[in-house]
Each structure stands twice: as C-alpha cells, then as structure tokens.
Amino acid sequence: MDMRKYLRSFGYAFEGILMASKEQNMKSHVLSAIIVMLAGYFTGLSRIEWYIVLLLIALMLALEMINTAIERVVDLASPDIHPLAKQAKDIAAGAVLVFALFSAIIGLLIFLPKWF
C-alpha cells in the first residue's frame, strides 16, 4: 500500500466535505443537526437514543452529499435539459426527502415521550 496515496485520499475526502458544506441544502441539514443535538442535550437522551440520533444525522449528511454528487455528475453528463437527467436528479432528491421524513418520525418517537 502506498501510504502517500492513502493519506492523500483523506485530503480529497475532506475537500469533498468542504465543497458539500457550501450547498444550501447541506447548510440546512447541519443547522437541523445542531438543533437536534442541543435538544438532545437538554432533554437528557439515553446512550442508545444518542446513538440513534447521531447515526440518523450522519446518514442524513452522507445521503445529502451523495445526492449532490449525483446532481453534479448528471449535470456534467447532460448539460442540456433531458427528461432522464431530471428523473435521476429528482429520484436522488426524493431519496433524501424519504430519509429526512423517516428521521423526523424517529426523532419524534424519541423526543415526544420525554417532553410530555
């Protein structure tokens, strides 16, 4: 294994995280994550509940990054408007929405019993 190539790959990954962090949707997901973590801190979540919340946050951020990557690749491959390009982008965005909705439901199942 070439250690320099291996370490360089981390640099590329961090560069990707920085690029994604500039996207509007990623900013809203990060803000939501901060709010949820503050709510979790003040609510006094159990260790297992924290694991679930942090896993959902990590998966949401990763899925948004995958969606952004898919959008960029589609834009590169199909710079002109094309129905299949639109479908690919819409489906990827739909995957993010499905995960966000189910994450919110799980969050409500964790938080609501502690608040009421």
**Binding-site entries for ATP:** 12, 23, 71, 89-90
Whether 64 is catalytic is: yes
Which residues contribute to the annotated binding site for a divalent metal cation? 23, 71
List the binding residues.
12, 23, 64, 71, 89-90
Q: Which of 64, 74, 103, 110 is catalytic?
A: 64
SS (H, E, C) the chain: CCHHHHHHHHHHHHHHHHHHHCCHHHHHHHHHHHHHHHHHHHHCCCHHHHHHHHHHHHHHHHHHHHHHHHHHHHHHHCCCCCHHHHHHHHHHHHHHHHHHHHHHHHHHHHHHHHHC
Which residues are designated catalytic? Answer: 64
